[in-house]
Amino acid sequence: MQDAETVSKDFIRDIIDDDLRTNKYQGRVHTRFPPEPNGYLHIGHAKSICLNFGIAQDYKGLCNLRFDDTNPAKEEEEYVQSIKDNVKWLGFDWEDRLFFASDYFQQMYEYAVQLIKAEKAYVDDQTADKIAETRGNLTTPGTNSLYRDRTVQENLDLFEGMKAGVFADGQKVLRAKIDMSHPNLNMRDPIMYRILHATHHNTGDEWCIYPMYDWAHGLEDSIERITHSICTLEFENHRPLYDWFLDALGVYHPQQIEFARLNLTFTVMSKRLLLQLVDEGLVAGWDDPRLPTISGMRRRGYSPSSIRTFCKRIGVAKFNSMVDFEFLEYCVREDLNKTAPRFMGVLRPLKVVLENYPEGRTEELDAVNNPEDPSMGSRKIPFSKVLYIEQDDFMENPPKDFYRLAPGREVRLRYAYFIKCTNVVKKDGKVVELHCTYDPATKGGYAPDGRKVKSTIHWVSADQAVTAEVRLYDRLFTIKDPAGEKGRDFKQFLNPTSLEVLSDCKVEPAVQALKSSDRLQFERLGYFCVDPETTPQHLVFNRTVELRDSWVKKQKASQKT
RNA sequence: AGCCCCGUAGUGCAGCGGUUAGCACAAGAGACUCUGGAUCUCUAGACACCAGUUCGAAUCUGGUCGGGGCUGCCA
């Protein structure tokens, strides 16, 4: 499906329009998505992916996938693979433009030599502590390093030594010579290279000096002839540095543009915090369906197009915002409503015996696969004397606005017959079985006498029912902004009931034809998908999202008053 | 505190000197319905504040207030 819809342009596209008008980049539009492979991508990254690849599509330009792998201490091959998978799954194609910052290490090194020769960079022997100390702070300027005025030759020799591995980690750094009293801290002689005797996922042990983000990123963009380098707001203060390096080198100079990152209610959106949840076993892994990771959402049952639509609709701006989780849910429901085949399944079964239905008889009834899309056809569902219905669909003493099944009440079984409850079987005060009568004249769900029922409920024939496991997910946290509580550990806000496993669910036999990751709707319950752990002997479904439920909403509203 | 960025319904965005300030979600009411789903209709709800420029300001300017970012050899 397409996500085309009329959305007005954002400020970034306005800038691009201007640049096109003034022919700033000879009509080119070239963006990039530059993740660091130090974790799994999340919905916030999806926003950036949709922005960067989306702009390239809109303007018939190009978008590169580039791994910003300048820190071997944190980066791993597993992450590279997952990121590639995620971008592809979201529906974007980098074609032959898969790049790594580490591919440019040699060229960056040569650029650094160029800066040294121009007396714009120097090797500093100070310790990390000393460098931090002499940087000054928000209100007081920093002070110059006493190694700041080394000769070009001395710097060249030392830098070569750094590269050759003659120094230990932290013993020396290469710094840009800018201004230790600059009001922007980032401009106080920022570090360009640090020594790290670590094995890099891509370059192995070839290098023991690694470039810092500020030095590397602009070069990567410049080398790839990026036109618009789009990043998040926290890099705003780094833009002067980005510009300074490229100007000092006199190389091709893209434009950095910053936008606000996505925040979602009831979750956390930081790789560091997500890593904690995974490492401490608080969730089942990076693809735990409760996580806002792309892999987690995929396993939860979100479709790529629903995520793309969401990213498009939230827009892009320059102020920090917090998007309601419900909005994401709205986007999946909207998509799945049109695309997911319907089935019947009972989560918490309540046995129903039809007293007047012949023993041993079975019928095949017609059911529509998707009322929103007739082209999806129909299927047969078995019907017999003993059925299961949802426990929630029966109340012994119902309030008057409950219009499902109750003693003496008649309801419709979807695609089947009208039934009326005649008797309630209880055990230890708990309802364990219902006796009902069915009206043979209402086959297919219509009464020839035109009488109406208040509600239609779902059911499964007991003999043919397949037992399945269903995993119900709820929000991972109990408060809107768990990471925003100052001085408190976000983990104390974890929702203890974010996962509920039901192991005795009864589903109609047709679901056995579904494959891993297939998405579906269990009528009246919500959208689900087949978990990868499913086997023919043991079906496992994940609930993606519930259907909107005005009955539940009503109940909650009345509870409050 | 210094520097930078930003303030439009509950939420997310649009509005680019003249609009009854628009859209979507959420909320409320109703219609329809073999999913209390979907769909349709309607309702309520915002320019942070104060000056100035202008015939005219949500839009331009200055100030006030409020929010965010920055003091890693992370990105």
Neighbouring C-alpha atoms within 13 Å toward the C-beta of A143: 5
Per-residue pLDDT at A5: 45
- Which CATH number characterizes residue A292's domain? 2.40.240.10
Do A60 and A41 lie in a common domain? yes
Do A248 and A318 lie in a common domain? no
Q: Return the exposure string of A196-222: e unless at least 16 CB atoms fall within 10 Å of the residue's CB, then b.
A: beeebbbbeeebbbbbbbbbbbbbbbb
Stated in angstroms, how far is A238 CA from B52 C1'? 35
Question: Is A463 a member of any domain?
Answer: no
- The helix/strand/coil state of A365 is strand
Do A246 and A281 lie in a common domain? no
Structure tokens at A151: 């000769």
What is the set of active-site residues of A?
36, 261, 271
Do A279 and A405 lie in a common domain? no
* pLDDT tens figures, A11-70: 999 999 999 999 999 999 999 999 999 999 999 999 999 999 999 999 999 999 999 999
* pLDDT tens figures, A357-380: 999 999 999 999 999 999 999 999
Average pLDDT, chain A: 96
Q: For residue A71, give the nucleotide whose C1' atom is nearest its CA.
A: B74
Per-residue pLDDT at A7: 56
Q: How many residues does chain A have?
A: 561
Q: For residue A136, give the nucleotide whose C1' atom is nearest its CA.
A: B71
Question: Is A265 a member of any domain?
Answer: no
Do A368 and A329 lie in a common domain? no
Residues 6+ apart with CB under 8 A from A63: A30, A31, A32, A33, A52, A53, A55, A56, A92, A94, A97
Q: Give A555's pLDDT tier (boundaries 50, 70, 90).
A: confident
Which residue among A458, A492, A513 closes a domain? Answer: A458
Q: By residue range, what is the domain housing residue A76?
A: 4-259
Q: Are A405 and A421 in contact (CB under 8 A)?
A: yes
Stated in angstroms, how far is A422 CA from B33 C1'? 27
Stated in angstroms, how far is A335 CA from B39 C1'? 15
Per-residue pLDDT at A382: 98
Question: Is A231 a member of any domain?
Answer: yes
Amino acid sitting at position A223: I
Report which secondary-structure segment, H or E, holds A106: helix A105-117
- Helices A325-339 and A304-314 meet at what angle, rounded to 10? 140
Q: For residue A74, give the nucleotide whose C1' atom is nearest its CA.
A: B74
- Report d(CA A485, CA A209) in Å as an integer: 38
ipTM of the complex model: 0.96
- Report d(CA A32, CA A29) in Å as an integer: 10
Which residue among A458, A476, A505 closes a domain? Answer: A458
* pLDDT tens figures, A88-108: 999 999 999 999 999 999 999
Question: Is A63 a member of any domain?
Answer: yes
* Domain count across chain A: 3
- Report d(CA A476, CA A492) in Å as an integer: 11
Q: Are A58 and A13 in contact (CB under 8 A)?
A: yes
Amino acid sitting at position A338: K
Do A502 and A482 lie in a common domain? yes
Do A305 and A156 lie in a common domain? no
Residues 6+ apart with CB under 8 A from A4: none
Radius of gyration of chain A (CA): 31
Structure tokens at A31: 């963006």
Neighbouring C-alpha atoms within 13 Å toward the C-beta of A532: 8
Do A168 and A152 lie in a common domain? yes
Question: Is A76 a member of any domain?
Answer: yes
- Report d(CA A37, CA A68) in Å as an integer: 7
Per-residue pLDDT at A236: 96
Do A222 and A335 lie in a common domain? no
Q: Return the exposure string of A267-290: e unless at least 16 CB atoms fall within 10 Å of the residue's CB, then b.
A: bbbebeebebbbeeeebeebbbbb
Q: Are A31 and A52 in contact (CB under 8 A)?
A: yes
Q: Are A483 and A273 in contact (CB under 8 A)?
A: yes
- Report d(CA A202, CA A67) in Å as an integer: 11
Do A84 and A107 lie in a common domain? yes
Do A355 and A424 lie in a common domain? yes
- Does residue A6 surpass a pLDDT of 70? no
Average pLDDT in the A176-190 region? 97
Question: Is A266 a member of any domain?
Answer: no
Which residue among A229, A259, A289 closes a domain? Answer: A259
Give, as ranges, the nucleotides of chain B with any atom within 7 Å of a protein CB: 1-8, 10-16, 24-28, 34-39, 67-75
Question: Is A114 a member of any domain?
Answer: yes
